[in-house]
Structure 1
C-alpha cells in the first residue's frame, strides 16, 4: 500500500513524536514554500520521491497538518479519506493552491479519482472558491476548476450561490478597469465548464467596452460564447456603426458569416444600416450582390434598409424596388415612404405624385394604411418645389384620413408658404398648429424667423425672437393673456406674447437668421454672436460667413479679412462659403488684388471653390488692362472647367475681345465681330475660343510665336490672333523682343468642301487683319514634304533644325513618296520678324495707355 507525504506551502507540519522518530526530527519543519511555483516536471519528480512505502508496523498515515487532527482509532481513517478531508479544509480556508496540489498528486498517483471526489466536501470547496473570487483570484479559481474537472466533479457545482454573485461582481470590476481581454479569456474558460455566460456579465456592457477600445476581435470572441450569437453580432455591428467605425463593423459582419449556421437577415439588415450611417452605400450594394449571387432572397426589412441607404440615388432605389417585386416580396408602408424620400431628394415631384396616388389607392382597398411619415414626406416634396397649394391639399387628405399632423408636418407646411414669400399664410398655419395643441419646436420657429427675413420684415423677426426668449425671463405679462389672445398678437398686431407651453429654445440656426436680419449693422450682428456664445452655443461656418458679410457690407474690408483670420485662430477652418463671402467683399470694394490672393489662399488650404466663387472672380473686372489680368482670369476659367462647372462664357469673351481690339484702337468701343462671336459661341458645346486663347497666352516669351487657328471661325480666329499680338507687345515693353517669324496654322490643304470654304474665310479674315489693319507683312506658306532618313517632314515648322543640321543637305530628297506615308499638309501664314518688330515699335505707345 502506498501513502503520500504532502508538503504544504504555507503551514508547519507536525507529527506525533512517538512515530517516525528514526526518520524525522521531533521539531516541526517549515516546508518548501515555493513548491507550487515549480514546473510540472519538477513537481512530478518531487512527487515520485515523496511517495513512501510504509510497512504494517509503521504508522499508516503521512504527516498531518497542524490544523487537522488524525484519530488512529477511527474506522474511517483511510488514506484517501484523510486527504479528501485535508484538501476540503484547505479549500475552505482559501488555500486553493494547496488544495489543487493535493488533487494533482492524487490524480498522478493512480488512485481512484471518483472515489476521492466523492470524499471531498463540496460545500467547503465552494466556500473557498467564493472567498478566492471575492479576493480577486479568479484565475486561480479557474485553474483549480480545471484540476477538479479531472476528478469527474462538475466545476459548475463548486461555484454557486455566493460564489456566483462574487464572480459577477468581479467581472464588473474587471470590465470597469477596461481589462476586456482578461474578461474574455476567463469567460472562454468558464464557458468550457458549462457556465451560463450571459448570467455572469451583461452582454451590452462587454460589447460597449470592446467598441470603445475599437477591438472587434474580442467582441467576436465573446459573441461566439453565447447560444444566440446572431443577436449579439447585430448589436456589435450596430454599436460600431454608431461610432462611425465601418471597418470594425465589417470585420464583425465577416465573422458572423463564418460562425453562424446560415444567412441571417438580422445581421444583413444591421450591416446595411451601418453602411448608411458611415457613408458606405457602395459597400451596401456589394453586400446585396453577394446575397443575389448566393441565391438568398432578402426579406422586406433588408430591402427597405438597402433602399433607404441608397435613397440619394433614385435610379438605384427604383431598381431595388423592381427586384423586390420580381421576387414576389410585397412592399409595406415603409417601402413606399422610402420611395417618396428618394423622390424628395431627387426633386422628382411627378414621380412622387404617382407613388402617393398609388399608396392612396392601396389604402382605399385596405391593403395599406398611410402613416404620418408618408404625409410629411409628400408635403416636403411639394414644399421644396414651392407648390404650397398642393402641400395644403395633402394636409386636408391627412385630416380626412384621421391622421393627426405632428410638429414635422406643420413645419413643412409653414415652410411651403414661407418659401414663396407668403409670410401671413405661414403665420396663419402657425396659429392653427398651436390651436390644435401641437407644440412648436426650434425648427418651426426658425422657419418663421427666416420667412420674416426673406420678406425684409426685420423688426418683426426680432419681435418674434424677443417674445419667445422673453417667456423664460418673466411670466407676469404672459399669464394675463390666454392662448387665443397671444395668437392674435402674433398674426395681427405683431406684438408677441406666448403662453408658457411654448418651449422654444434658440439654436445656432436661430441666431444665424437674426444676424441676417441686421442688414448692414455689423455691430448688432457681432453682439448677437457674442450673445450666442454666452448661451453656450457655438458659432458655425454660417455664423462666421454672415459676420464677414456684414462687416464687409459696412465698408470695413480689413475687418472682414480679420474675421476670416480669426476663424483660423478659434480652430474653425474657413470653408468655401466663408472664403467666397470674403472674396465678394473684396470685389465689391474694388480690391481685386486681395480677392485673387484669397482665391490662391483657399487653394493652398485645399478648399475647393464652388460656382459662385468662380463667377465672382471672373466678373470682378469690367475691363482688362494688362496681359497678367487676362492670364489670371483665364487660369481661373480653366480651373473652373476642370472642376466640372459650366458657366456663361459671354461676359468673359466680351472682355477679352475688348482687350484684343485694343491692339487696333485706343478706345474701348466693341468691334463688329462681337455679335457674331456671341452667336457662334452659343452654338458650341463648350468654348473652344477661350481654351485656345488660354493656351496661346501661356506661351513662354522664349518660344517661337505660333498660332493654331484650326477649328475656329473667322471671328474667333481674329480674336486669337489679336490676343497673341497684344501679348507680344506687352512682352516687348518688358524687354522681350521678337526673335523669330510668327507662323499661323490655318488647317489642312484638303478636306470637305464646306471645311475648305471655312478655312478660306478664316485665311481671308486673318490676312485682312494683319495686312490691311495692322500693316504687317504676311506670306502664304505651302510647305514642301522632304524625306530625312526615310522620315517625311514638313518644313519649315515640322522639321527639327537639329536633325536637319546633323543629316546634312545631301540627305534631303524631294522625290515623291507613297500616299500611305505622306503626312497631312498644313496651310500656314508667316508674319516676318522684321515687320513684327517694326509694328511693335510703332504701336508700343498704344499699349502703355491701356
Structure 2
C-alpha cells in the first residue's frame, strides 16, 4: 500500500477531508478518500502526516487492522504515528498489543511524549496490569514526563482500575497541578470501589480549592450520596448544580432523579422529572426504578409508563425490567401480563435480564406454568435464569422439579452460584428431600468451591432438623465458624417440637432468648415442647416468662 506523494497541498487536502469524516462519523466517505490516495507502487515515499491521519481515522472507527496496515506501510514514523497506533489498540480493547507496540517503539529508539505515555498507561489499565503500569511510570519519569497532568491522570486511572486506591490517592496528592479530569478520575474511582465517604470528602475538597465541577463530577458525587442514603448531601449538590447552570443537562438531571429516588425522596424526584421540558428514557427509567423500591408507588410507576407509551418515547429493557419488578413485588399479574404483551410486540428477543425479570414476575405471582413457559421460550439462559426458576419451584412446592432443573443446568454447562444453591437447598427442605439437599450442600463446597454463607448453613440445618437428624443438625450449628443466627436456632427449636427432643429444644430456646428476649413465639414453642413431654412445671414456668414478655404490648383484636 503506497500513498500519493504529490504536491504538499494534496496531502494537506486529504488530511483535512479525513478529519472532517472523523468529525461527522462518515466512515464510507473516509474510505473513499483513502482509496483516492492509493496509486501504483512508486519510488516516492508516502506522506508522513497523511499516513498518520489515516491511522487515526481507522482507529476512530474501530478498524484496528486497517490502521495497522497503514502503519506498517510507513517507511518513517514520527512520535505522533507511534502514539496514534498505540492509542488505537488501547482504545479498541486490545491492551496487550498496545503494550507490545509501545515496547517496540522504545526499542526502535523513538522518544515517547506525554500522550504516548498516557496511552500506554491506559493500556495497562485495560489489561489490569499494575506491574506494566509501574514500568510505564518509570519510563515517563526518565523522559521527564512524570509530572505531566495528562500522564498522571492516566496513571491514576490505571491504579484505580487495577484496584489500588491507595496508590492512586498517593499519586493524586503528589500532583502539583490538578485539573477537573484529575479530580473526576479519583472521585469516580472511589465510587467504583465503594469508598463513598472518601468520594464525598474529595468532592468537598474540590469545591474548597475553587475547582469548578462538571457533569461527570456531579454524576459521581450524586451516586456516592445515594449509595449511603445521604439526602442532605443530594440537596446540597442539587443547589450547586442549579448555581452552576447544569440543571438543563439531561445526564445530571437523570442522576438527580436517581439519587433522590434511592434516598426515598420520591416526591422530589417526581418534581424534577415533571420540570423537564422533554423527559428522556434515562430520566424515565431512573424514576420508575425508584418507584420499584417502594410498594406504595407501584400505581405511580404504572401511570408513568402509560404516559411514556402514549407520548411515543423510546422504551428499553431496563425500564421494562423495573416495571416487571414492581409487578412481582405487588403480585400485579394483570399489569404484568400487559407488560409481557408489550414485550412480545415491541422488544427484540434475547435480552436475558428482561427475560429473567419476566420469569421472576410470574413466579412471585404464583403463576408457575407461565413462569416455566417464559423460561422455556428464552433464547439464551444464564445462571440468573436457572436460579429464578429453581426458586419458583421451591416456593411452589415442586422440589423434584427444582432438582431436575439443576441437573439440566449442569448439563448445559452453566455454573451455579451461591444463590442457586440457596434456592436449591430451600426447595429440597420444603419438599422433604433431605438426603438430596445435604448432597448438594456438600458438593457446593467440594465440587464448585463455593464457601457457604450463614444462609446456606441455616438451610442445611433446617434440612437435617426436618428429617429428624437433630444430633447432626446440632453438630453443624457448633461447627460453623461464624456466629450462629436466630434462623438456625429457630429451625432447631421447631424441629425439636416436631420430634419431641426436649434437651436440644431447651438449648436452642435459651440461645434464642439471649438473641431476642422479647420474641414471645420462642417461649410459646418451648412451653409446648415441655407440655408434650408432660413436664408441666417447666411448661408453667416458661408460660410465666411468656406472660412477662408480653406485658406492655398491645393485644391484637379484630374489627369484625
Aligned mate of 1:592, from 405, 429, 434:
434
Q: 1:423 to 1:271 in 2, by over 3 A?
A: same
In 2, Cα distance between the equivalents of 1:350 and 1:234?
38
Larger CA deviation: 425-434 vs 571-580 = 425-434
TM-score (norm 2): 0.68
2:176 maps to 1:302: no
SS at match of 1:639: coil
1:229/1:260 contact within 8 Å kept? no
In 1, Cα distance between the equivalents of 2:152 and 2:382?
37
Aligned mate of 2:150, from 263, 266, 275:
266
Q: How much has 1:659 moved relative to structure 2? A: 11
2:113/2:145 contact within 8 Å kept? no
2:485 maps to 1:614: no
Q: 1:646 to 1:233 in 2, by over 3 A?
A: farther
1:233/1:267 contact within 8 Å kept? yes
- Counterpart of 1:628 in structure 2 is 472
Aligned mate of 1:425, from 297, 300, 312:
300
- Where in structure 2 are the equivalents of 1:538-687 lying within 5 Å? 538-553=380-395, 555-604=397-446, 605-620=448-463, 621=465, 626-635=470-479, 638-641=480-483, 647=486, 651=490, 654=493, 662=501, 679-682=513-516
2:273 maps to 1:395: yes
In 2, Cα distance between the equivalents of 1:335 and 1:205?
25
- Where in structure 2 are the equivalents of 1:215-234 lying within 5 Å? 216=99, 218-222=101-105, 229-234=113-118
- Counterpart of 1:357 in structure 2 is 239
Larger CA deviation: 426-435 vs 673-682 = 673-682
Unaligned runs of 5+ in 1: 1-159, 472-502, 684-768, 770-850
- Counterpart of 1:456 in structure 2 is 331
Q: 1:327 to 1:504 in 2, by over 3 A?
A: same
Q: 1:207 to 1:558 in 2, by over 3 A?
A: same
Q: How much has 1:161 moved relative to structure 2? A: 6.8
- Counterpart of 1:345 in structure 2 is 227
Q: 1:353 to 1:255 in 2, by over 3 A?
A: same
In 2, Cα distance between the equivalents of 1:270 and 1:631?
54
Q: Is the strand fraction higher in 1 or 2? A: 1
In 1, Cα distance between the equivalents of 2:412 and 2:433?
26
1:446/1:509 contact within 8 Å kept? yes
In 2, Cα distance between the equivalents of 1:619 and 1:436?
52
- Counterpart of 2:125 in structure 1 is 241
2:131 maps to 1:289: no
1:207/1:219 contact within 8 Å kept? no
2:289 maps to 1:415: yes
Q: 1:454 to 1:654 in 2, by over 3 A?
A: closer
2:473/2:492 contact within 8 Å kept? no
In 1, Cα distance between the equivalents of 2:82 and 2:462?
71
1:743-784 CA distance string (max 9 Å, x none): xxxxxxxxxxxxxxxxxxxxxxxxxx9xxxxxxxxxxxxxxx
Q: How much has 1:430 moved relative to structure 2? A: 1.9
- Counterpart of 2:280 in structure 1 is 406
Q: Is the helix fraction higher in 1 or 2? A: 2
1:130-183 CA distance string (max 9 Å, x none): xxxxxxxxxxxxxxxxxxxxxxxxxxxxxx9743139999x99xx969999xx9
User: Which structure has the larger Rg?
Assistant: 1
Q: 1:611 to 1:382 in 2, by over 3 A?
A: farther
Aligned pair count? 459
In 2, Cα distance between the equivalents of 1:254 and 1:647?
55
- Counterpart of 1:687 in structure 2 is none
In 2, Cα distance between the equivalents of 1:613 and 1:358?
47
1:38-89 CA distance string (max 9 Å, x none): xxxxxxxxxxxxxxxxxxxxxxxxxxxxxxxxxxxxxxxxxxxxxxxxxxxx
1:617/1:633 contact within 8 Å kept? no
Q: How much has 1:585 moved relative to structure 2? A: 0.3
In 1, Cα distance between the equivalents of 2:252 and 2:87?
37
In 2, Cα distance between the equivalents of 1:219 and 1:178?
16
Q: 1:205 to 1:264 in 2, by over 3 A?
A: closer
Q: How much has 1:657 moved relative to structure 2? A: 8.7
- Counterpart of 2:318 in structure 1 is 443
Q: 1:387 to 1:611 in 2, by over 3 A?
A: farther
1:215-268 CA distance string (max 9 Å, x none): 725414427966772223222333443455554445434433332444122222
In 2, Cα distance between the equivalents of 1:524 and 1:250?
55
In 1, Cα distance between the equivalents of 2:154 and 2:331?
48
1:275/1:309 contact within 8 Å kept? no
Q: How much has 1:309 moved relative to structure 2? A: 0.9
Larger CA deviation: 621-630 vs 566-575 = 621-630
SS at match of 1:296: coil
- Counterpart of 2:30 in structure 1 is none
TM-score (norm 1): 0.47
In 1, Cα distance between the equivalents of 2:147 and 2:371?
58
- Where in structure 2 are the equivalents of 1:363-402 lying within 5 Å? 363=244, 371-396=249-274, 398-399=275-276
Q: How much has 1:562 moved relative to structure 2? A: 3.0
Unaligned runs of 5+ in 2: 1-40, 56-63, 518-537, 539-560
Q: How much has 1:618 moved relative to structure 2? A: 4.0
2:490/2:512 contact within 8 Å kept? no
In 1, Cα distance between the equivalents of 2:510 and 2:368?
47
Q: How much has 1:323 moved relative to structure 2? A: 4.0
Q: 1:325 to 1:528 in 2, by over 3 A?
A: closer
Q: 1:408 to 1:252 in 2, by over 3 A?
A: same
Q: How much has 1:515 moved relative to structure 2? A: 1.6
In 2, Cα distance between the equivalents of 1:242 and 1:207?
10
> In angstroms, what is the RMSD of aligned CA positions?
4.4
